[in-house]
Structure 1
Amino acid sequence: MTSRLSLALLEINNLAPSFMVADQCSKTADVRILGIESADGQGQCIKLVGNVAAVTAAAERGVELARRMGSFGLYSIMAAPLEVTLQLADPKPVISPLLGSSDNRKPRENAMAMTNALGLLETQGLVAALHATDDMLKASNVTLAGKEKIGAAYVTIMIRGDVAAVQTAIEVGKQTVERLGGKLILADVIARPHADLASLLP
């Protein structure tokens, strides 16, 4: 990495909202997602690199979206950070044996572009998440893309399919979580995920 790059750090509560924000940031300006790092709980740090104007525009738009979704969001811009700071912001992922997931979601090289819509359902509590997943897969022609845990009982379920099918499934999942009395964090659809976001997904 070169010191001419600027670094934007966005702190967003929960994983599903951070995926939505990262997608929006990538679509707003010419930035590259360095990764999304978990603080072993709600807080997720989205790291963007690009020129200072681009990362600022992307970060502002991302935090605005987070707040519209009812999530916490803040950002900081480092213009031309030191190389040691960039290395600190881009650590190797560590797998949590407790959660069975990585603390730092980094773009995979040669990741295939995602042509399907992405549905995100995040709950606090595993019972509602698993029951909702079963109902979503039965209700619509979608496939399970992954399950991620970030600690504090937060679970994010990801599904893929065409836009209408994913929208139907996510609505069913949302209704299931509410019927079971689970805590719904986010239930939303990204119709056309940006390639940078797709490279972070399972």
Structure 2
Amino acid sequence: MKRAIGLLELKNITRGILAADAMLKAANVEIVMSQPLCPGKYVVMVAGDVGAVQSSVRSGKAAAKDENIVDEFVLPNMHDSVFAALSGCSEVKAIHALGVIETYSVASAIIAADVAAKAAAVELLDVRLARGMGGKAVVTLTGDVGAVNSAVRAGGQAIEAGGFLIDTLVLASPHKDLHSALF
């Protein structure tokens, strides 16, 4: 059985807590994240088998009501490096080319990170989720310039249609001091 990740991003904290409760009651899932984010949004992430996660997200969405949902996803097989980047545990030894994907939602940033990591041989550096950024999220990654270009393009295209993509950036050779300023 595959492990899946499901996420609901909500406009307000009370509906977020309600959704989290409904998600946990609906299926055999583990809560990965359940917390408020800027600017007063709430995010709930669960993990488990694909069917359980799908059921959990459906139940959370129904409890919270569609008008309170900012974004959502169910990823049946998330790339392992996304977990480390989400928790700030990626070991950054050196930045080669630097890629950045900026989004309007937490869910879209995680999707973009997953797609980027699967698209090319890159290292995810960080997936910053809306804290102190007005609800935006940012994915940073590194690798050789060709791989970074491919990964950023794929990650951006994956979320562009939903209107959550703000901008992308690839620096082929970032200044050495930028590394310590970012991480």
Q: Which band: TM-score by shorter chain?
A: 0.3 to 0.5
**So what's the TM-score if we normalise by structure 2?**
0.46
Point out which structure has higher relative CO (alpha carbons under 8 A, 6+ apart): 1
